């Protein structure tokens, strides 16, 4: 009798997880002369925007008013008109002498933003503004009404020098840094619109007292590459006596990981919410996805983020755009959880956000079950994780999508500045 030939059990083959990369569709990292990824930290020299009250300290405002030949207390009156009543219109400033109103307003509240275009969702509770600056540069902001809060996503630079391959703004390069007042003016204009009942259902009553409650620096630009002006803007936002008087906690400053600037921010003692746009937990992929990773690696950026928590006691947010087959693998969720847990518990929150889909491209959002699994793994590892709303994507207003189109450029050319 012969032994029956054993049936060979072949292990079912599982295909290795698909890994797409930025270069899959031919994207080439631009390099500088030394062969490192091209990054623009310095703003190209362009004509500076006119100096505005919001660029100055309260003392400087008084001095400037005096230089215009008027008593110093006029500065406080202008502050009230601008920061509380959201107006730069001399006709509405009836407490100022009619003879000097125009001069005072011209010297202290010059026009900084000219509206080029406004896009609204059907219900009108998300609005994207396209603004033209004094030199013709274009920037955008997005206003969003949520239950119990109103968030404005502001731009801090015209363009961006960080060159992230998935980001339309980054591909266009850096035009220039925005001034503190150009950043603030985005909020004042939004507050004006809200006070006029322009956000959401116009029949809604009781909007008079409403205003922007939350700011996210997630429009155009890398905020920490424009550090001094962004910090001046944050001071104006939070100043209760001489500024807008917002809560610092409602202000989120984000970065792709400029480590020295994160350390500086931690030392400021302004308890803003800090967000690190990580997008990959491994240097191999992050080097390609976030070119600034060539200067400061994942671990250095996470150490700085942890340092921010230690200094301020404020829980840090990790932003993670989920990109199909690029960075959404289960092992990356596990690696991210390990790296965060290695730095302690209770200091961080992860916000995955599905990338705005570009159908047929490598830059598309993860499938829903993959998104859910990514979130589940992080939560299971003890990292609080919430999938973020992609509000604004229907009008191309979500983060990483803020770039003026050719159409916008044409529309802007027809609009005189001021
Ligand atoms: S993702 Fe942010 S940092 Fe990167 S290029 Fe775009 S705007 Fe700049």
Q: What are phi and psi of 82, to 5 degrees?
A: -80, -50
Query: Cβ(115)–Cβ(133) under 8 Å?
Result: no
Residue 198 marked ligand-binding: no
Residue 278 marked ligand-binding: yes
* Ligand 1 pocket residue status of 400, Cβ below 6 Å: yes
Whole-number pLDDT of residue 171 = 81
Residue 83 is classified by DSSP as: I
* Ligand 1 pocket residue status of 160, Cβ below 6 Å: yes
Q: CB-based contacts of 136: which residues, under 8 Å, 6+ apart?
A: 412, 417
Q: Give the C-alpha distances (Å, rounded to integers) separating 375 from 21, 316, 337.
A: 22, 17, 10
Of 141, 156, 171, 222, the one to substitute when testing ligand 1's pocket (max ligand atoms within 8 A of C-beta) is 222
Q: In what order do the strands lie in the sheet with 114-120?
A: 114-120, 126-132, 138-146, 149-153, 214-216, 251-255, 273-277, 316-322, 348-354
Residue 351 marked ligand-binding: no
Q: Which helix (H) or strand (E) holds 103?
A: helix 98-108
Whole-number pLDDT of residue 46 = 80
Using the mean position of ligand 1's atoms as its centre, give its distance from the Cα of residue 196 in Å.
Answer: 33
Name all contacts of 274-277 with Cβ < 8 Å and 24+ positions apart: 274/305, 274/308, 274/312, 274/314, 274/316, 274/317, 275/216, 275/218, 275/316, 275/317, 275/318, 275/319, 275/351, 276/301, 276/302, 276/305, 276/316, 276/317, 276/318, 276/319, 277/319, 277/321
Residue 215 bridge partners (DSSP): 152, 251
Whole-number pLDDT of residue 169 = 82
pLDDT digits (tens, 9 = 90+) for 200-231: 876 666 666 799 999 999 899 999 999 999 99
Q: Is the dihedral of CA 227, 232, 235, 236 positive or negative?
A: negative
* Ligand 1 pocket residue status of 162, Cβ below 6 Å: yes
Q: Which helix (H) or strand (E) holds 339?
A: helix 330-341
Of 170, 275, 403, the one to substitute when testing ligand 1's pocket (max ligand atoms within 8 A of C-beta) is 170
Using the mean position of ligand 1's atoms as its centre, give its distance from the Cα of residue 358 in Å.
Answer: 17
Using the mean position of ligand 1's atoms as its centre, give its distance from the Cα of residue 169 in Å.
Answer: 6
Residue 155 marked ligand-binding: no
- CATH numbers and ranges of domains, the chain: 53-108 (1.10.150), 146-396 (3.20.20.70)
Residue 117 and residue 412: Cα distance in Å, rounded? Answer: 8
279: left (phi over 0), alpha (psi -120 to 50) or beta: left
175: left (phi over 0), alpha (psi -120 to 50) or beta: alpha
Residue 360 and residue 293: Cα distance in Å, rounded? Answer: 27
Residue 153 marked ligand-binding: no
Whole-number pLDDT of residue 6 = 54
Using the mean position of ligand 1's atoms as its centre, give its distance from the Cα of residue 8 in Å.
Answer: 53
Cite the DSSP H helix spans in 53-97.
Answer: 58-67, 74-79
Residue 71 is classified by DSSP as: -
Whole-number pLDDT of residue 355 = 85
Q: Which helix (H) or strand (E) holds 277?
A: strand 273-277
Residue 257 and residue 194: Cα distance in Å, rounded? Answer: 33
Using the mean position of ligand 1's atoms as its centre, give its distance from the Cα of residue 75 in Å.
Answer: 37
Chain-centre distance for alpha carbon 329: 26
Residues with a catalytic annotation lie at 140, 399
Q: Give the C-alpha distances (Å, rounded to integers) separating 66 from 53, 72, 74.
A: 13, 6, 9
Ligand 1 atom nearest to 256, measured from its CA: 3
Question: Consecutive 10-residue runs of the chain (418 residues): their mean pLDDT?
Answer: 52 76 85 88 87 98 95 97 96 93 95 95 87 95 90 94 86 92 98 92 69 94 97 98 97 96 95 95 95 97 98 95 94 98 98 80 89 98 90 48 50 55
């Amino acid at each position: 009798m012969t032994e029956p030939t054993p049936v060979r059990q072949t292990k079912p083959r599982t295909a290795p997880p698909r890994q797409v990369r930025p270069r899959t569709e031919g994207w080439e990292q631009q390099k500088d002369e030394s062969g490192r990824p091209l990054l623009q930290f310095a703003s190209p020299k362009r004509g500076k925007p006119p100096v505005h009250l919001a660029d100055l300290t309260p003392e400087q405002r008084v001095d400037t008013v005096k230089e215009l030949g008027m008593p110093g207390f006029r500065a406080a009156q202008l502050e009230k008109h601008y920061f509380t009543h959201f107006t730069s219109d001399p006709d509405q400033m009836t407490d100022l002498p009619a003879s000097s109103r125009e001069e005072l307003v011209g010297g202290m509240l010059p026009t900084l933003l000219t509206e080029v275009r406004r896009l609204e969702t059907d219900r009108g509770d998300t609005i994207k503004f396209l603004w033209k600056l004094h030199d013709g540069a274009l920037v955008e902001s997005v206003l969003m009404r949520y239950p119990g809060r109103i968030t404005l996503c502001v731009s801090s630079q015209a363009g961006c020098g960080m060159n992230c391959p998935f980001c339309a703004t980054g591909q266009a390069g850096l035009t220039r840094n925005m001034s503190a007042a150009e950043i603030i003016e985005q909020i004042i204009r939004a507050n004006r619109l809200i006070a006029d009942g322009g956000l959401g259902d116009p029949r809604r009553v009781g909007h008079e007292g409403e205003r922007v409650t939350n700011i996210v620096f997630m429009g155009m630009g890398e905020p920490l590459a424009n550090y001094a002006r962004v910090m001046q803007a944050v001071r104006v936002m939070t100043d209760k006596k001489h500024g807008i008087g917002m809560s610092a906690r409602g202000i989120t400053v984000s970065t792709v990981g400029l480590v020295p600037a994160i350390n500086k921010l931690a030392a400021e003692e302004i308890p803003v919410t800090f967000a690190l746009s990580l997008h990959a937990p491994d240097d191999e992929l992050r080097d390609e996805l976030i070119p600034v990773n060539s200067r400061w690696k994942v671990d250095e950026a996470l150490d700085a983020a942890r340092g921010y928590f230690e200094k301020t006691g404020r829980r840090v947010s990790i932003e993670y755009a989920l990109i199909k087959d690029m960075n959404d693998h289960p092992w990356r969720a596990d690696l991210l959880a390990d790296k965060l847990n290695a730095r302690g518990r209770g200091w961080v929150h992860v916000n995955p956000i599905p990338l705005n889909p570009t159908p047929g491209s490598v830059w598309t959002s993860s499938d829903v079950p993959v998104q859910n699994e990514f979130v589940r793994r992080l939560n299971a590892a003890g990292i609080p994780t919430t999938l973020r709303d992609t509000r604004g994507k229907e009008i191309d207003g979500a983060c990483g999508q803020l770039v003026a189109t050719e159409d916008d450029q044409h529309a802007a050319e027809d609009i005189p500045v001021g």
